[in-house]
Amino acid sequence: MGRKLAGIDEAGRGPVIGPMVIAAVVVDEDGVPKLAELGVRDSKRLTPKRRERLFDEIIKLVDDYKLIELWPDEIDSRGGTLNEFEVENFIKALNSLKVRPDVVYIDAADVKEERFGEAIAGGLDFRAKIVAEHRADDKFLPVSAASILAKVTRDRAIEKLKEKYGEIGSGYPSDPRTRAFLEAYYREHGDFPPIVRRSWKTLGKIEAKLKNGVEKKKGRRSLEDFL
What is 27-90 written as a DSSP string?
A: EEGGGHHHHHHHT---GGGS-HHHHHHHHHHHHHHSSEEEEEEE-HHHHHT-SS-HHHHHHHHH
The number of beta carbons lying within 10 Å of the beta carbon of residue 186 is: 19
**Could you give the residue range(s) of every CATH 3.30.420.10 domain in the chain?**
4-161
**Could you give the residue range(s) of every CATH 1.10.10.460 domain in the chain?**
164-213
Does the domain at 164-213 match CATH 1.10.10.460? Answer given as yes
* Residues paired with 9 in a beta bridge: 23
> 48 to each of 8, 15, 55, 120, 149, how far by Cα in Å?
20, 18, 11, 30, 12
pTM here is: 0.91
pLDDT, one tens digit per residue, over 181-194 is 999 999 999 999 99
Helix, strand, coil share (%) of the chain residues, nearest 5: 55, 15, 30
Q: Is the pLDDT of residue 4 over 50?
A: yes
CA dihedral 127, 71, 156, 8 (to 10 degrees): -20
pLDDT, one tens digit per residue, over 80-110 is 999 999 999 999 999 999 999 999 999 999 9
Across residues 133-161, what is the average pLDDT?
A: 97
User: Under CATH, domain 4-161 is a member of which superfamily?
Assistant: Ribonuclease H-like superfamily/Ribonuclease H (3.30.420.10)
Which pLDDT score is estimated for 214?
Answer: 58
Q: Is the pLDDT of residue 131 over 80?
A: yes
Length in residues, the chain: 227
